[in-house]
Amino acid sequence: MLAFALRAGVSGVLIALVALLARRSPALGALVASLPLVSVMGMMWLWHDTQDSARLAAHAEATLWYVLPSLPMFLLIPALLRHGVSFWPALAAGCGLTVLLYLATVAIAARFGVAL
């Protein structure tokens, strides 16, 4: 339980850091947010817990396939905001699009023998 609390604390600090940086400089906050810090920490913790190369390789590969369908959200949200849509509906639309693209990615990957 202590390990879980430590991991949650570190993750929370990173999110708070991004928010703080973004208030001062949107570009700097975006740069830090775009770093695969959560993925890297997840891989480090998975390695620490399992020492399983095959599991870690599968995790890293699946992460790649799940990152790709999340990228259009970062185009849709600013486009909606610039066209007068308020934040919460724009965020909901971006998240909804991402869910749909995740489902499509899983279905398409399965047709090519990639299990996600």
Quote the pLDDT of residue 3. 85
Q: What is the pTM of this model?
A: 0.79
Q: Cα separation of 23 and 2, whole Å?
A: 32
CA dihedral 40, 16, 65, 102 (to 10 degrees): 150
Quote the pLDDT of residue 38. 83
Whether residue 32 contacts residue 18, with contact meaning beta carbons closer than 8 Å, is answered with yes
pLDDT < 70 positions in the chain: none
